[in-house]
């Protein structure tokens, strides 16, 4: 596509008196991996579903894959692969049987060759006759992804796809995601893992229905305005509870034996850590804030929309 794959403005979704998505604007280009982050219940999945034609918005407009997200939802859904957070395939079928079933649901031609190709691509060929219910979380994840791309979608929607999966399987999954993006597939993924957020081309942070940050990881960090220090030395990690609620501090956390502390006002932050600088055993240095620092800071600024309902 020459234009954006997704271009939406003013998306709104309400459930009763609660506005779970509040006038969200987003533009995403082809072949990009866009990560959606935010606290539980913040509207991430609802936003993704509205953009992809899986849910009708109560307000706003836009296009996805060149189709209107309200009037042409069926056309969008036919070109979208959706991997739900909860594994949704049949555990009493084999890997091959599940993929053949999905192929027939989509009325695909050349079912056998398509399934063979999917099995090879995701490393499932040697396990194709194994019952799905006997698979580990990582292998179920591979099968779910294989089912998502069987009909050759142009857009992938992945809802917390690596929850409960070991680090090696997560890395293999992300390698495959970037390979798909390299073929021009646009990927939208919700995640709570900061290392996964950094693997995305760009990030959208949503808290309680509001889009609060947008851009690459570096752009979000550089534009945050947060200041940060790291303290190292004996007992530095134990200072986190003492600083966490101090004026000027939005986050204080132990990282191994070190302490990482940050806040938006440099003078207030300096004042908060001043009493601890007197300890000659501790070394304090300025450092760059992390994505986690920024998201904790943004969460503190956001108003829980459940309170307004």
Q: Could you tell me if 95 and 195 lie in one domain?
A: yes
What per-residue confidence (pLDDT) applies to 165?
79
Residue-wise pLDDT for 20-48, tens only, equals 999 999 999 999 999 999 888 888 889 99
| C-alpha–C-alpha distance, residues 276 and 256, integer Å | 19
Domain identity same for 26 and 117:
yes
Range of the domain at 125: 6-220
**Does 1 map to a domain?**
no
Burial (0-12, 13-18, 19+ Cβ within 10 Å), 254: middle
The mean per-residue pLDDT over the stretch 43-57 comes to: 90
> pLDDT of 170-222, one tens digit each?
888 899 999 999 999 999 999 888 888 899 999 999 988 899 999 999 999 99
The pTM of this model reads 0.88
Least confident of 7-16, 34-43, 96-105: 34-43
Q: What tens digit of pLDDT does each residue of 254-291 get?
A: 989 999 999 999 999 999 999 999 999 999 999 999 99
Residue 30 placed within a domain: yes
Both 76 and 139 in a single domain? yes
Spell out the SS3 assignment of the chain. Answer: CCCCCEEEEEEEEEECCEEEEEEEEEEECCCCEEEEECCCCCCHHHHHHHHCCCCCCCEEEEEECCEECCCCHHHHHHCEEEECCCCCCCCCCEHHHHHHHHHHHCCCCCHHHHHHHHHHHCCCHHHCCCEHHHCCHHHHHHHHHHHHHCCCCCEEEEECCCCCCCHHHHHHHHHHHHHHHHCCCEEEEECCCHHHHHHCCEEEEEECCEEEEEECHHHHHHCCCCEEEEEECCCHHHHHHHHCCCCCCCEEEEECCEEEEEECCHHHHHHHHHHHHCCCCCEEEEECCCHHHHHHHHHHHCCCHHHHC
The number of domains in the chain is 2
Handedness of CA 112, 114, 117, 119 (dihedral sign): negative
194/233 same-domain check = no
Are residues 68 and 193 part of one domain?
Answer: yes
In a shared domain, residues 133 and 271: no
Of 263, 226, 216, nearest in space to 243 by CA: 263
246 φ/ψ angles, rounded to the nearest 5 degrees: -70, 150
What's the rounded Cα separation, in Å, for the pair 278 and 84?
52
Instruction: For residues 267 and 243, state if they share a domain.
Output: yes
Residues 24 and 124 in one domain: yes
Residues 118 and 202 in one domain: yes
Q: What is the mean pLDDT of residues 13-18?
A: 92
pLDDT digits (tens, 9 = 90+) for 157-166: 998 888 777 8
For tokens 């591979």, the residue is 142
> pLDDT at position 281, please?
95
Give the model's pLDDT for residue 307.
Answer: 56
Tell me, yes or no, whether 270 and 150 share the same domain: no
Distance of alpha carbon 222 from alpha carbon 114, whole angstroms: 45
Cβ atoms 274, 242 nearer than 8 A: no
- Is 2's pLDDT higher than 80? no
């Amino acid at each position: 596509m020459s234009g954006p794959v997704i271009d939406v403005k003013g998306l709104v979704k309400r459930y009763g008196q609660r506005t779970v998505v509040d006038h969200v604007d987003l533009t995403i280009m082809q072949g990009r991996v866009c990560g959606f982050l935010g606290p539980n219940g913040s509207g991430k999945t609802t936003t993704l579903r509205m953009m992809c034609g899986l849910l009708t918005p109560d307000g706003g407009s836009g296009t996805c894959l060149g189709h209107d997200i309200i009037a042409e939802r069926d056309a969008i859904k036919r070109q979208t692969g959706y991997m739900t957070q909860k594994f949704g395939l049949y555990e009493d079928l084999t890997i091959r049987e599940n993929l053949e079933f999905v192929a027939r649901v989509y009325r695909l031609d050349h079912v056998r060759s398509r399934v063979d190709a999917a099995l090879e691509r995701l490393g499932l060929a040697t396990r194709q006759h194994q019952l799905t219910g006997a698979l580990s979380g990582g292998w179920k994840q591979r099968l779910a992804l294989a089912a998502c791309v069987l009909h050759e979608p142009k857009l992938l929607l992945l809802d917390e796809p690596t929850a409960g999966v070991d680090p090696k399987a997560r890395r293999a999954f992300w390698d495959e995601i970037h390979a798909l993006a390299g073929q021009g597939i646009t990927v939208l993924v919700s995640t709570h893992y900061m290392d996964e957020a950094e693997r995305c081309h760009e990030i959208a942070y949503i808290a309680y229905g509001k889009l609060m940050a947008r851009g690459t990881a570096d752009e979000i960090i550089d534009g945050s305005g947060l200041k940060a220090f790291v303290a190292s030395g004996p007992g530095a990690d134990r200072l986190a509870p003492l600083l966490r609620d101090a004026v000027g501090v939005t986050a204080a956390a132990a990282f191994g034996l070190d302490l990482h502390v940050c806040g938006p006002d440099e003078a207030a932050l300096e004042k908060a850590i001043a009493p601890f600088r007197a300890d000659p055993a501790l070394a304090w240095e300025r450092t760059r804030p992390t994505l986690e620092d920024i998201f904790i800071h943004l969460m503190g600024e956001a108003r829980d929309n459940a309170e307004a309902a």
